[in-house]
Amino acid sequence: MTERLDGARMLIYSHDTFGLGHLRRCRAIAHALVEQYKGLSVIILSGSPIIGSFDFRARVDFVRVPGVIKLYNGEYTSLGLHIDIQQTLAIRASIIRHTAEVFGPDLFLVDKEPLGLRGEITETLNMLKARGTKLVLGLRDVMDEPTLLRREWESGQLVPALASLYDEIWVYGLPEVWNPLTDMQLPASVTDKMSYTGYLERFLPQKLKRTPHVEIDEPYVLVTPGGGGDGYDMIDWVLSAYETATDLPYAPLFVLGPFMNADQQEELVQRIERLPRAQTLTFDSHVEFLMAEAAGVISMCGYNTFCEILSFDKPAVIVPRSRPRQEQLVRAQQAERLGLVRMLDPDGPREPAVMAEAIRNLPSQPRPSSALLPGMLEGLERVVELARPHLRGEAEAPALDAGKAALTPAI
């Protein structure tokens, strides 16, 4: 049952250095909240270069900050601007703080990075804390391999921020699957703030039919690496199976992802076009429709794709990445342990026959629903409940100081 919270405001930070995961998770949360709470307004702060390709519900909007990308050596560089990364970060921090000052949120939800990209939201957190805004950190189920994560967080002095700044920590998963802060030796003042929500269930948007330019008259397997920036090897492995085996049960539909390298994308498209039963898309902002109609899924193991596999109850073959983070590998291992998916070793020999056999077994592979844990897909419902106490009604935006420029969202 919906509830009116007139004047309530929520700000969501999604650093989005690359890929689609952070943006799509924050968008799902925002949509669930405005559907439940009439009168609530939500702004998403994002660095995603393709945020404008997604549709948003009424009372959800976004402010785009300049994008950055993480290189393989761990350093960051500007995505679209030919300026120094420090200048880019300064611009981002300024836009973030000014948006928060003018919007005046009741609740500030930070996705994954406690202090933002290289600490860019530290000033904003302190400012909002002083104003009485509730600060919540949202964590996906798996952050990284525990030792690597501990080193990263210790070097960034992030645990003190959890203790001194944040009011709550929401984990978008279940402890029976994984504790994202395992082995962190956290004080009780931090662990007491943690609430596990379950995974964020996905639903079909209000759209009449599947993407019209996809025409497959037989059952198909959806092959998707998410954003695609690191998906070439997985797509290549699936293609090699279809190129060498003629008895595979499903036609393949490849969705390559908007961030795949252009040369790699061109090579794959040429190979796919030579397969008589295959089709390909670069990107579809409503991939949920393709997932819902698929007979099975072959994918990596990003958080959002995993949520969709569970939500639409699809038998799935998973090829997680293991570098530079082991997040996907840990998630896939735990999911296979629970009987939710089948995982292929990402670091083993990528023989076409191994992938072909996995595809042949998809029709008889158990669906995730046969192994779901209690509360596993109740994440959005739980987030709605957790947010309510912090979304007071009749909130007023703070008056602008004389001489201060009005907010101009970068949208």
Tens digit of each residue's pLDDT (9 = 90 or more) over 79-99: 778 788 899 999 999 999 999
The structural architecture, per CATH, of the domain 3-201+378-390 is 3-Layer(aba) Sandwich (3.40)
Residues near 114 by Cβ (< 8 Å), separated by ≥ 6? 137, 158, 161, 162, 165, 166
Q: What CA–CA distance (Å, rounded) separates 15 from 23?
A: 8
Q: What is the pLDDT of residue 11?
A: 98
Mean pLDDT (whole number) for 280-298: 91
Q: What CA–CA distance (Å, rounded) separates 83 from 77?
A: 9
Q: Helices in 258-351 by DSSP H: which ranges?
A: 262-273, 287-293, 303-311, 327-337
Element (H, E) at 234: helix 232-244
pLDDT(226) > 90 = no
**Contact between residue 265 and residue 256 where contact means Cβ atoms under 8 Å apart:** yes
Q: What is the pLDDT of residue 322?
A: 87
Between residues 284 and 66, the one the model is more confident about: 66
Number of Cβ within a 10 Å radius of residue 389:
11
Report domain 220-370's class. Answer: alpha beta
Confidence of residue 399 (pLDDT cuts 50, 70, 90): very low
In 3-state terms, the chain is what percent helix, strand and coil (to 5)?
35, 15, 45
Assigned token pair, 2:
């919906």
Q: What is the pLDDT of residue 355?
A: 98
pLDDT(126) > 60 = yes
Mean pLDDT (whole number) for 325-329: 92
Q: What CA–CA distance (Å, rounded) separates 211 from 110?
A: 32
Q: Where do the domains of the chain lie?
A: 3-201+378-390, 220-370
Of 60-69, 123-132, 336-345, 354-363, give the lowest mean pLDDT range: 60-69
Q: For residue 137, how far is the Cα from the chain centroid?
A: 15
pLDDT(237) > 70 = yes
- 169, 175, 181, 180: which is closest to 198 by C-alpha? 175
Mean pLDDT (whole number) for 242-259: 94
Q: What is the pLDDT of residue 99?
A: 98
pTM metric for this prediction:
0.91
Q: What is the pLDDT of residue 74?
A: 59
Mean pLDDT (whole number) for 200-212: 70
Mean pLDDT (whole number) for 359-363: 97
Q: Which residues pair with 108 in a beta bridge?
A: 11, 135
pLDDT(405) > 50 = no
